[in-house]
């Protein structure tokens, strides 16, 4: 029994290290979302941290303010979806395709 619990502890430690490594990988991956045919682009890390924002100068007019706000939100949403997809792809590499219950994410 003691040997079995030691093995489980070792596996848990290995998973913890893999998760720490994964966080570094996710931080290094960048995705870009866009809106308005590329007039607005938002770049995020796969962890969701904002890395960059590009706004075409043609949108920098007072009368374009509301449109610009909507385009920034849309580009951010696009980038966020791409970041989540990349994050899930990378997680599958660590978990070996382990299907976690819906709503449960690693790290716990």
For the chain, the structural domain boundaries read: 22-88
Mean pLDDT of the region 19-35:
91
Give me the phi and psi of 100, to 5 degrees please: -85, 150
What's the pTM value of the predicted model, to 2 decimals? 0.72
The alpha carbon of 76 is separated from its chain's Cα centroid by a whole number of angstroms, namely 12
Specify the pLDDT at position 1: 52
User: Is it true that the peptide bond before 107 is cis, omega within 30 degrees of 0?
Assistant: yes
Question: Rounded to an integer, what distance in angstroms lies between the CA atom of residue 59 and that of residue 10?
Answer: 55
Question: For residue 39, what are the contacts with CB-CB under 8 A and spacing of at least 6?
Answer: 55, 56, 58, 59, 71
Task: Dump pLDDT digits (tens) for 74-102.
Answer: 999 999 999 999 988 888 877 675 555 55
Task: Dump pLDDT digits (tens) for 30-89.
Answer: 999 999 999 999 999 999 999 999 999 999 998 989 999 999 999 999 999 999 999 888
Question: Does 3.30.1310.10 match the CATH number of domain 22-88?
Answer: yes
């Amino acid at each position: 029994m003691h040997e079995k619990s030691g093995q489980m502890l070792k596996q848990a430690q290995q998973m913890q290290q893999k998760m720490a490594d994964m966080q570094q990988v996710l931080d290094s991956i960048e995705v870009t979302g866009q809106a308005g045919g590329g007039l607005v682009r938002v770049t995020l890390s796969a962890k969701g941290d904002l890395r960059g924002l590009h706004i075409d100068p043609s949108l920098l007019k007072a009368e374009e303010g509301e449109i610009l706000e909507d385009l920034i939100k849309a580009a951010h949403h696009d980038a966020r979806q791409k970041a989540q997809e990349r994050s899930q792809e990378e997680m599958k590499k660590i978990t070996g395709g382990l299907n976690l219950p819906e709503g449960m994410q690693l790290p716990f």
